[in-house]
Structure 1
Amino acid sequence: MCIDNDIYKEIRPYNDNEVKGAIKRLIDDRDFINAILKYRFPHASGMFGWLLIPLIKRFLVKKWSNVASVKDVQDYVAKYMRATIAHSCDGVTTTGLNKLDPNKAYLFVSNHRDIAMDPAMVNWCLFNENFNTVRIAIGDNLLKKPCATELMRLNKSFIVKRSSKGPRELMKSLGLLSSYISHSLMTGNNIWIAQKEGRAKDGNDKTDPAILKMFFMEGRKQKLPFAEFMSGLNIVPVSISYENDPCDLAKAQELYQKETTGTYEKSEFEDIESIVQGIVGQKRRIHISFGDVITDAPETPDELAAIIDKQITENYHLFPSNYIAAEIESDQVTAEEEQLFAQKLADQPQGVQAILRRMYALPAQKKQTVAE
């Protein structure tokens, strides 16, 4: 990429020559160090926490001294992911990668249940099968602090500017985003993006045609038909299934509050807390299913959204919790699994219980409908 004419500089991930500088800024960032203090040393982060700050900084300088490129960062993240998976889940399985070519670039359009773990799990599967890892689309609503921006851009994330004000500014930012996605694919870089803005907190995975219209902005600029341009993007629907969602109760309580009061206001650090809980919380088993490349796209965004939805629904891997919530008979369901699911609902208001059940039931109900 030509640095002198770097039109994507404000939204793209960091290049190799920017990694060292970003790491130095992170180590010097007080909010970043305080976050480490809070989550790694909660009992020592109070009145005398400042005593640990120089030690943490020296530790990070030494630990990251050999991280000098994007690949180095990816290798480091892979080590962290290995430890995270070992402590927070009972195993990861995947299907569909054998249909893809490691030498091609794909636009992975995924269902979205967890802020950090969804793209991380897709990357984990790709990394282990010697595919290039993805560039990750992330909303600027999650980048309220400079240290969050540094971390995300170090980890191959590019910024979706959801906070753009005014129609003209919004169209300009969406046009740049569309151009960047096309440019990435043309230069051999995989992309991960959620099928809609925000997580499917109710368990209903559904593609927003607006996302597909954004992809096509670059095609319209090139005066290409929708079907032709979209067929060339190598779109692959991805279904991510968690046996247990560590954030399920928080999601259900939010939806219940919206149902009963009409509003819900996030706390200042709620997104960060969701990210942490999603990473460290118990997920039991995880399955990632890579669908078929869409090489013959239809004429409209709505029709393409329906094709993506069908693949995501059909490829979604169901666990006992899904069958139990949907009251569908399955050999997977045991008395122990029934008890575990009952414990999840215990001590919650009826309204929250109903939402939790619906959250786990929907994938099974939708899959059953598609199969009929």
Structure 2
Amino acid sequence: MGMLEVDITGRIGQLDLEACFRSSGGVTSLFGQSGAGKTTLTNMIAGLIRPRSGRISVNGTTLFDADRGIDLPVRARHVGHVFQDARLFPHLSVKANLTYARWAGRRRGTRDMGEVTDLLGLGGLLDRMPRTLSGGEKQRVAIGRALLSDPRLLIMDEPLANLDQGRRNDILPYLDRLCGEAGIPILYVSHSIEEVARLSNTLVILSEGRTPAFGPVADMLARTDLGRATGRHEAGALLEGTVAGFDPEWGLTDVDIGGAVLQIPDWVAGVGEAVRLRIRARDVALAVKPPEGLSIRNAFAATISSISSETGPYAEILCTVSGQTLRARITRASVADLGLHTGKTVTVLIKSVAIDRRQRVPAPVFSPAG
């Protein structure tokens, strides 16, 4: 997988932008609330807006360098762009839409058409016209068209924002495959923690035109100092584990996270497969000794690694289990009553039903560039 490096400044309207991040493969998610500057930043990377200063490079190719006078035109940057609306040509069939970029660019593609149609499940749609497609199908065609333009970088700018939850659920499995198998760097822009946790391996936080933090997605979601940028309601942590078994009588899947086994509802994946579990901080409780007689099935030992010193009624607590980080939000009064402190061993309690279907996904497997 390729490298994406961005270190630029610029200004659009009233927004001053200062973005600095790098990622070394797979999917980089650019996360921020509305107005954070996500579209401005992606337009600068694509060459649609010129930064004031700095440098942008992909896979060692410099797209922009103010000091060296390099500013490749849009066409020469080879950036595939997928937007919220699919922007298909209404008068062309799906097949013609898919091959349009190659035809217009007068170049032979290196990516196989059949490979892309298989990857995105487009084989049965090739003769259809865009007006007959659902929103999710249109987006899959738009993604395929971008891939077949042989980009060195694929930017996906909130591709699910205009879809209802049902259509999102339909397209997400295709995005799982795309993000694992595309073989090029992908910059995925979103204000949905759910999508970010599911698809990316590097997370860049963008807030008010600044990038206060970037790094592995699990580390970023566990950060307690980014609440304003990520939103407190969705704050949580990302655990990676392996499916250890399934109990058909009770409909529960065992997921081994190393040092503990979580039981979660329904069949998630095959035994031995890697999965990600997003656990919201508000769904985690702590006890100072193992409790008895509870309906909560997930109870395991962990060590407190930090306790935030915030004002207001709540405290953010990070716990570690086998090198993974879990996040809990409890009242400051409970912290005092239980005598919690850094280094203390506690029992973590998580309701099985709290780990809902949208938060249990196959862990991305990022294949090397082909």
Q: TM-score, normalized by length of structure 2?
A: 0.29
Bigger strand fraction = 2
Structure 1 or 2, whichever has the larger Rg, is 2
Q: Say which structure, 1 or 2, has more relative contact order (CA 8 Å, 6+ apart).
A: 1
More helix by share: 1
